[in-house]
Amino acid sequence: MQYRTLGKSGEMVSVLGFGCMRLPIMGGAQSAADVFNPEKFIDEEEAAAMAQYAVEHGINYFDTAYGYHSGQSEIFLGRAIRPWRDEVLIASKLPVPMVESESDFDRILDEQLARLDTDRLDFYLLHGLGRHYWEPVRAMGVLEFLDRVVKEGRVRHIGFSFHDDIKIFKEIVDAHDWEMCQIQYNYYDEHYQAGREGMEYAASKGIGVVAMEPLRGGKIVDRIPDEVRTVWESAPHERSPVEWAFLPH
């Protein structure tokens, strides 16, 4: 496994992380929406085997969020990585659409720590920021809250995940001393939302960048057009669609 220093956080993070938004579910998924269906439960035996395999092969960054698998994801992850808690980094996210008042900040974080069975989060992100959620939570004092919980030790590093255009992305980057951010980035989305311009802008500020949706939920490595396969087959080295997706571009 290769590792990189994640921006000003100083953490050495595996270049591949383990995302917990689309874990295997009992009976298998019939549609993409099934992983968010509260009546569909995580296949914990299979998912735990995947998490163990990831740790044993050097992955140390595990990403979850309050709402993934209708709240089951955090609970599962806390159980699955308990034997390696001090060897891995956990990232979870504050569900900003759920925040109605300042008191919700601490209440939600405490609930997440209990779900994950841990006394601290290594990375805590504001989830899915964009123009509709950024200003309301900022006005409620979310930046002051983040600074406080870092001082208290409940959170080690702060950041945000993002879904909007480049203008609002730069505004958020410039608003605080962030340590990391997560943006949707893959060879299809190079100029979508924050995109390459946002990645380079954040990096210029010392902010570590984590690419979410590197395979677009698997969509960009499934049903590859024949003309694309022809180009790949002409390359000097044979690679799978996943390997092509992860190549630097």
Per residue in 186-237, pLDDT (tens digit) is 988 999 999 999 999 999 999 999 999 988 888 888 888 889 889 888 999 8
Residue 223 belongs to some domain of the structure: no
pLDDT higher than 70, residue 82? yes
CA angle (39, 91, 58) in 5-degree steps: 100
Residue 246 belongs to some domain of the structure: no
What residue numbers bound the domain in which 157 lies?
3-214
Strands (E), the chain: 3-5, 12-14, 18-19, 61-63, 89-94, 121-129, 155-162, 180-184, 208-212
State pTM to two decimals. Answer: 0.93
Per residue in 128-183, pLDDT (tens digit) is 999 999 999 999 999 999 999 999 999 999 999 999 999 999 999 999 999 999 99
Residue 125 belongs to some domain of the structure: yes
Element (H or E) spanning 201, and its range? helix 195-204
Residue 165 belongs to some domain of the structure: yes
At residue 92, what is the residue type? S
What total number of domains does the chain contain? Answer: 1
Q: What is the CATH number of the domain that holds 79?
A: 3.20.20.100
Q: Cβ contacts of residue 72 below 8 Å, gap of 6+?
A: 41, 42
Q: Cβ–Cβ contacts within 10 Å for residue 3, how many?
A: 13
Residue 25 belongs to some domain of the structure: yes
Residue 229 belongs to some domain of the structure: no
